Amino acid sequence: MIPPCDILVLGGGIAGIAAALAISKELSPKVPGLKITIFELHNVPSTSGGAINLNPAAQRHLHHLGVLDELDKMGADGGAEVDQVEMFSIHSGRRLGRVDFSGKDGKGYGGYKARRVMRISLHLALLATAEKASNIDVKFGKKVVDGVESEEKVTIFFEDGTNAVGDLALGCDGVHSPTRMKLVDPSTPSEYTGICFIQTTIKANRINAPVHFKTTAMNRSRHGGLLTTYCHKNKEDIFVAALAEVDAADISHETFCPRNRDSIRHRRTTSERLRDEVCERFNDCGIPCVQEMLEKSLNWALYPVYQLPPDRKWHTERTLLLGDAAHAMPPRDESAAFALDDAILFSRILSLYIHQPISDAFAVYEYIRRSPVTKAYNSSNVTWMSNKGTGRWTNRLEEWMTPWQLYKDKKARIGAWEFDASTLYIPPPPKEPSLSSLEDK
Q: How far apart are CA 213 and CA 229, in angstroms?
A: 8
> pLDDT > 90: what percent of the chain?
64
Tell the CATH superfamily of the 6-190+307-440 domain. Answer: FAD/NAD(P)-binding domain (3.50.50.60)
- Beta bridge partner(s), residue 139: 39
Mean pLDDT of 272-294: 89
Residue 171: name the closest of 183, 153, 159 by CA.
Answer: 183
The pLDDT value recorded for residue 261 is 42
The pLDDT value recorded for residue 337 is 87
Q: Does the structure show a pLDDT above 90 at 257?
A: no
The pLDDT value recorded for residue 265 is 43
The pLDDT value recorded for residue 389 is 58
Question: Residues 172-183: pLDDT tens digits?
Answer: 999 999 999 999
Q: Does the structure show a pLDDT above 80 at 358?
A: yes
Mean pLDDT, the chain, rounded, equals 88
The pLDDT value recorded for residue 262 is 45
Mean pLDDT of 208-227: 92
Q: Label residue 95 by pLDDT band (50, 70, 90).
A: very high
Q: How would you classify the pairing of strands 301-307 and 154-158?
A: unpaired
| Of 72-76, 160-164, 274-278, the least confident | 274-278
The pLDDT value recorded for residue 290 is 95
CA 356 to chain centre: 31
Question: Residues 386-413: pLDDT tens digits?
Answer: 555 566 666 777 777 787 888 888 888 8
Q: Does the structure show a pLDDT above 80 at 74?
A: yes
In the chain, where the domains are located:
6-190+307-440
Q: Is the pTM of this model over 0.85?
A: yes
Residue 376: name the closest of 439, 315, 332, 408 by CA.
Answer: 332
